[in-house]
Amino acid sequence: MSFDPNYLYAQWPALLNGLGMTVLVSVIALIASVVIGIIGAACRVLRIPVLSQLVVGYVELIRNTPILVQLFFIFYGLPSIGVQFSLFWSGVVCLSVWAGAYQVENIRGGLSTVEHGMREAAISLRLSTRQYLRLVALPIAFRSSLPALVNTSVSMLKNSSYLQAIGLAELTYVAVDRIATDFRALEMFAAIGVIYVSLVVLLSLAAQRLEHRLHRPFRT
């Protein structure tokens, strides 16, 4: 069976719909995962009793279990105890929780690069712990941990393809659905492969531009 560009052109609207769902889920999960990372890293760095230990357990649990198991637990397991999410929000929660565990470590690593003198200076200026984190530590940590944050975000974007396992109509689900109907695997997998590569390249370029801008004031 030869490659048929006309078939691919006819399926482009469906692929665009799937792409829109992939981007929407990924963007929401990206924002949520960074928020989780900031809160979790702050708990660990400040060594808040109980919360710090809970964050450690959360990170170890997520990083040592497959994301597909986490997805099935959220979508199929939680309803048995009365917690139920829609297809869309099951995907968002799964990706957020998965990426959040890695973002905790990414941001914690960035916070560890903040010099101890910064903390002492903040105390001398009578800044509260919240002000120190918001105005001093987190901006420095974010700049130094940006490459790691982007790597996790790229992995999360690619892992969004797992959401087709629960029936969410994202990009991979649309392709697999068309393959089951029309048996045009070559065209569909080639198309979504190009689309995923394009998304990753665009995300990487945007991150490089942001990193360049963040480091501009520190260049001599």
CATH number at residue 88: 1.10.3720.10
- pLDDT band per the 50, 70, 90 thresholds, residue 1: low
Any domain includes 115 = yes
Nearest to 153 by CA among 122, 107, 219: 107
Per the structure, the count of domains in the chain is 1
What pTM value is reported for the model?
Answer: 0.89
Between 57-66, 80-89, 121-130, 153-162, the lowest mean confidence (pLDDT) is in 121-130
Any domain includes 17 = yes
Indicate if the pLDDT at residue 220 is higher than 60: no
Any domain includes 65 = yes
Indicate if the pLDDT at residue 216 is higher than 70: no
Any domain includes 93 = yes
* Alpha-carbon distances, residue 142 vs 87, 103, 145 (angstroms): 32, 11, 5
Any domain includes 219 = no
Any domain includes 99 = yes
- pLDDT band per the 50, 70, 90 thresholds, residue 96: very high
Distance CA 73, CA 80 (A): 10
Nearest to 26 by CA among 160, 166, 198: 160
Distance CA 166, CA 219 (A): 48
Q: Domain containing 22: what range?
A: 5-214
Nearest to 179 by CA among 2, 6, 11, 9: 11
